[in-house]
Amino acid sequence: MNPQQASVLTKEIAHDLGFQFCGISQARFLEEEAPRLEEWLRRKYQGNMKYLEENFDKRLDPRKLVPGARTVVSLLYNYYPRQDWNSPLKLARYAYGEDYHTVIKDKLRDFMTRLEEKLGAIQGRVFVDSAPVHERAWAQRSGLGWIGKNSLLLHRQMGSYFFIAELIIDIVMAPDGPVNDYCGTCTACMDACPTDAIPEPYVVDGSKCISYLTIELKEQIPSSFKEKLQNWIFGCDICQEVCPWNRFANPHREPRFDADDALLEMKKEDWLELTEETFGRLFGKSPVKRTKYSGLRRNIVFVTENPEKDKAPGGA
């Protein structure tokens, strides 16, 4: 099978498995990304995420992750929710249902099996937000979208509410080309961020991002962010909610991403009275388990406690 036929086959399998889009790029060193990543790290925008400082070469060269790699297959999987949920305390939409790592990894293993049935033995690995893979850069290179001013990948037909996954394999396939940047003069994401985590277009200060503060940061959230989290207790969707391209987002078709009815019915008092047992029942298979009960409880207290409670009458 020639590279063009292998590319067509791969996209057919992707469609059959429910991936909305599939793009292909040649596995090589991302030379243009190296100085950007170096500068981002130099500015300490990674905050306490020390793992982002490690495996620098592997982040930029997939051949160091998979020896002999020739192709990076990038895939998009929609997670825009089917349910309206007006919770008083908010979770990022990707966390409504089952952990995406589990859901998508299952599909990727099936993907590799189907490819091998058609192409023979393949040396490769599958990834979904795992290992040091520069996933947005590869998705952009394969024509699946452009990097927006909020640093997320944007797709003209589905916005940005999707997961990115990859196959890094030793099969040669016909690559796709990149697309143009369609952000134009829009700065909606920058203007809407309550913590000023987007200091300049296409650059995010991770140490100020609400997702970082509510998930990655293990210490107490700095008081300077008080009243800036806007009731987000796990992740944040603000920069996506205001992005004009997300008017094209359509509900997903993955039952495993649907929120449990008990979660949809949560009221503010339920969040305030959340027990470790209830946490385990609601989030045992959810991305939210990453914070553990103590972390989610910290976030709930932070966004709900009255900042005036310790002040004496008269504001002294």
Task: Tell me if 235 sits within 8 A of 91, measured CB to CB.
Answer: yes
- Encode 7-23: b = buried (16+ Cβ within 10 Å), e = exposed: bebbbebbeebebbbbb
> In whole angstroms, what is the distance from residue 110 CA to residue 112 CA?
6
Active-site residue flag, 181:
no
Rg from Cα positions in the chain: 21
Is the CA virtual torsion 17, 121, 172, 72 positive or negative? positive
Percentages (nearest 5) of helix, strand, coil residues in the chain? 40, 10, 45
Cβ neighbours, 10 Å, residue 255: 10
Cα dist. 147→44, 184, 243 in Å? Answer: 21, 12, 13
Closest CA to 210 of 130, 88, 302: 302
The residues pairing with 77 across neighbouring beta strands, listed in sequence order, are: 163
Cβ neighbours, 10 Å, residue 153: 21
Task: Tell me if 243 sits within 8 A of 257, measured CB to CB.
Answer: no
Could you say which of 61, 110, 129, 170 is catalytic?
A: 129
Structure tokens at 128: 């979904």
Strand spans (E) along the chain: 21-26, 71-78, 90-91, 124-127, 146-147, 153-154, 162-169, 232-234
Q: Catalytic amino acids? A: 129
